[in-house]
Structure 1
């Protein structure tokens, strides 16, 4: 069972650590009220051993396997979860779950959870990874391809390009016509060298089936359609069974993910291609919506059909209900009729998946209901925090006082304009670093060796980046002057970066006006933390929340492989 929650919860662990000591308010006599597999509870929310173990493992891997499952870490993580439940419970006590916004968010959560279950259990249920799939992927992992492509927004446009190629027009001349990117327009759509898992999954799958010089028919990608021409191919000369055996787990994960993505895309495309759109009703609805001022008030009872897929109908009232779940986001698709039709199809597909889930009874399964409840607790917490923000009135004097007391906080950090070389082998990285130190041009090295197609297109330029975005590598990168080449920086176990500094924008003090929004947000966060701590302390003191202290003290955390 999957929980559909924000990854930000683990970034709040340190915030809740300071609250952990509040558990001392809990009366041990209440521990007997908890089931044997429940570590803590508040209101209708329980923290079970399974949930807590999943929470710890997710935090463990997100922090680079740095967490130690000692009592302090266990308590901090527990208070992170329990604190959220206390706030969610308080939101329910205030009736936020019964507000129009609360009910809207609950419907959104149900859609998201049930549709993901449909995806996992029904759409992708037939995905099977065979031994021959692994062997083929192993060969691809050891093969690099160079290819050019032409792009088109629709299958019809792509077919027209294909016909022009068949009639003798040059690939390079068509590239000048279809690409706005000057590099791709001038180089015939050349993407340079790439390997497995570096391109769109549909593009990659098609490219690896082509011989050098061969041109593909139109290939659907996430961005539209491509016509691919393979211009070169290079394979590792000697491959052994021992290498295959070592790489098998990684290859299996890749093949399964790729098959799932292709099958999911095929399922969606089948729906889109086979759907009948009723244009008269679409046009009438579009004109009506363009005159609407507040989309939150959109309530249309018209049952005329907008779309039909086999025996499934999507009516105007269905559109109204689906649109109303997230009107701020969906309203951006009202800019033109083409975008509006895409919106109708997207909302119809979402409702179609949801109805499949209901038909299979997923909406009443215990685990799915629990997942909806867990995911919704984040929405309740968020609504409570939004309410606290609305109640807070910050005076100009308070903002000025914060700025004057803590001016050193409000600084624009150092920014560097960098060129990046990315490779997957440390030995290769050393060799290329030596070439650069001897005077080789970074742009030439990137063009020949970078594993990132986007970097090759942009000559490795990644633009101005705040030094804060480089994490553990920040200190080494901050020391670069214009023209300097960085040492080899290990980004991950199979990824190495070398940077060339193109320009520096030094750190500077922000004025009060420039820092205004940051100051306001900091004071809001302080207010939230204070209110949160107060509500949590009160819940613990009044025994609304209970922790099974002996179980927490003796719990052994299983680290997943």
Structure 2
């Protein structure tokens, strides 16, 4: 589960659980599954969770579907053979991970979000801005140094439009002086908005840091609402307070983290970093290599006078679930991961001091997330254990030839340079008829393509990463770019494309066909698997209780 999704899930669960706190204890059971029961309050908790998350209205069909899911969970967890799963190292590791993340999410909720303060003045200012459209132009730069250079050009009198023509690759912004048109509060990056709304018409800001880089902003016009009433303000006040609280979250998070972690007290050994990199390997840091044995006496990092050994850091990293750890594919990412490990430990210590680990809301959220982890691994186990005959696989292959094609391939030409303004100049030269290959040979930084006039022969489209869609959708001989590439800038030309062709059955790895088959029929496989368990377990549903639950009352008690 990705971290961003996990954080969002945790937050929703906490809100739901807070709403349910104080709910009356009602031990009327809805279902008996073998020796286990599902009670009315348990169902209401789960059902309200689902309604709030999806926006679906209460109806008996959805009630039965949610109840059926709860029954299936009991069948899979208590009435199937889970000995191998419960002893699986990665499964246990992920359970411990979500339990820890539940505690950290509650810490953030209580120590950061609960302390966000929005003043009356801020709400009124937001109300005014929501009802005022402004128009602005901007000059963009990826770094502060480049932005300050642009600002100096403006100070010495260089024309705004001339600078815009140089900094933008987008033809519209290049030709209109970076004009963005009219927008209102909430439409743009928060830092950009705050700066723009604070300007007078015609005034130019200094470089402003945004989420995408730096902008120099010029306010072009204001279009305020002619008449605003106190009644309108009061009706929108609550919503505006919520929006302002969300906008303030990053600021409060940074402030809290600074109170926990002092960067000046942190130091990392480059030697140990190299050793740990060797131990895991760049190609797949989730898999242990034997080329280096960790030294428990070798200090990896020091924080606030406390030393942490290489062995400690490696042990901590091995506790991270594989789906997170395999994302650590470079020394630089590893460096950030080690700092993250320390920070999480410091935050977890704070949570323990405050007894958040024993909080019932935290325990309930952790239990729900643990069940999600169980169901994920259980489904993997079910699919892995199912055997599919060769005849069925061939029939599936014949009906899905498009899914078993060779990879799409593409050939391109590239020019890679390290300067944005120079890349823009090259684009102009190409538009004026300069030869792409000669420019690549003379200026491109990447040796292996430079030697071949920038030509990269046919390769699978997937090899081109985030650029693959740009290349595949482009016309032959179309120029693309400049595109920023981790501090460099790329200009590309599509030379040719090859569409994938269906492969012969005997040339395809059987495991690949089986994986695709099981993925397509996973719902059917799961239902058949559950049906076999149900044959041996008594399931009794009290539909009178199910139908009579007053969800509105349950959610407000």
TM-score bucket (shorter structure): 0.5 to 0.7
Deviations 1:183-227 (A, max 9, x none): 555555444332222223343334333333444455444445545
After TM superposition, the structure 1 = structure 2 runs for residues 166-205 of structure 1, keeping only pairs within 5 Å, are 183-184=172-173, 187-205=176-194
Q: Secondary structure at the match of 1:199?
A: coil
After TM superposition, the structure 1 = structure 2 runs for residues 347-386 of structure 1, keeping only pairs within 5 Å, are 347-386=341-380
Identify the residue that residue 131 of structure 2 maps to in structure 1. 142
Of 514, 524, 535, the match for 2:530: 535
Q: 2 CA distance for matches of 1:144 and 1:227?
A: 19
Does structure 1 retain, via aligned residues, the 8 Å contact 2:131–2:225? Answer: yes
Structure 2 unaligned runs (5+)?
10-24, 404-468, 471-500
Identify the residue that residue 418 of structure 2 maps to in structure 1. none
Identify the residue that residue 285 of structure 2 maps to in structure 1. 295
1:526 matched to 2:517? The reply is: no
Deviations 1:482-527 (A, max 9, x none): xxxxxxxxxxxxxxxxxxxxxxxxxxxx978899979954544535
Identify the residue that residue 98 of structure 1 maps to in structure 2. 87
Identify the residue that residue 75 of structure 2 maps to in structure 1. 86
After TM superposition, the structure 1 = structure 2 runs for residues 460-471 of structure 1, keeping only pairs within 5 Å, are none
Distance 1:135 1:293, change over 3 A: closer
1:110 matched to 2:111? The reply is: no
* Number of residue pairs aligned between Structure 1 and Structure 2: 434
Q: Secondary structure at the match of 1:193?
A: strand
Deviations 1:365-403 (A, max 9, x none): 233122112101111111111112222344453134246
Instruction: Give, in angstroms, the shift of residue 42 of structure 1.
Output: 6.5
Instruction: Give, in angstroms, the shift of residue 77 of structure 1.
Output: 1.2
Q: 2 CA distance for matches of 1:301 and 1:91?
A: 43
1:278 matched to 2:268? The reply is: yes
1:52 matched to 2:46? The reply is: no
Identify the residue that residue 392 of structure 2 maps to in structure 1. 398
Does structure 2 retain, via aligned residues, the 8 Å contact 1:4–1:375? Answer: no
Distance 1:343 1:37, change over 3 A: farther
1:68 matched to 2:62? The reply is: no
Q: Secondary structure at the match of 1:125?
A: helix
Does structure 1 retain, via aligned residues, the 8 Å contact 2:26–2:41? Answer: no
Of 95, 115, 121, the match for 2:110: 121
1:388 matched to 2:382? The reply is: yes
1:230 matched to 2:182? The reply is: no
Structure exhibiting the larger radius of gyration computed from Cα positions: 2
Q: Secondary structure at the match of 1:77?
A: helix
Distance 1:554 1:64, change over 3 A: closer
Q: 2 CA distance for matches of 1:305 and 1:343?
A: 17
Q: 2 CA distance for matches of 1:332 and 1:112?
A: 18
* Root mean square deviation, CA, Å: 4.6
Distance 1:172 1:513, change over 3 A: farther
Compare 277-286 and 348-357 and name the one that shifted more. 277-286
Does structure 1 retain, via aligned residues, the 8 Å contact 2:284–2:329? Answer: no
Instruction: Give, in angstroms, the shift of residue 164 of structure 1.
Output: 6.5
Distance 1:351 1:90, change over 3 A: farther
Distance 1:256 1:287, change over 3 A: closer
Does structure 2 retain, via aligned residues, the 8 Å contact 1:151–1:224? Answer: yes
Distance 1:290 1:106, change over 3 A: closer
Q: 1 CA distance for matches of 2:206 and 2:312?
A: 37
Identify the residue that residue 435 of structure 1 maps to in structure 2. none
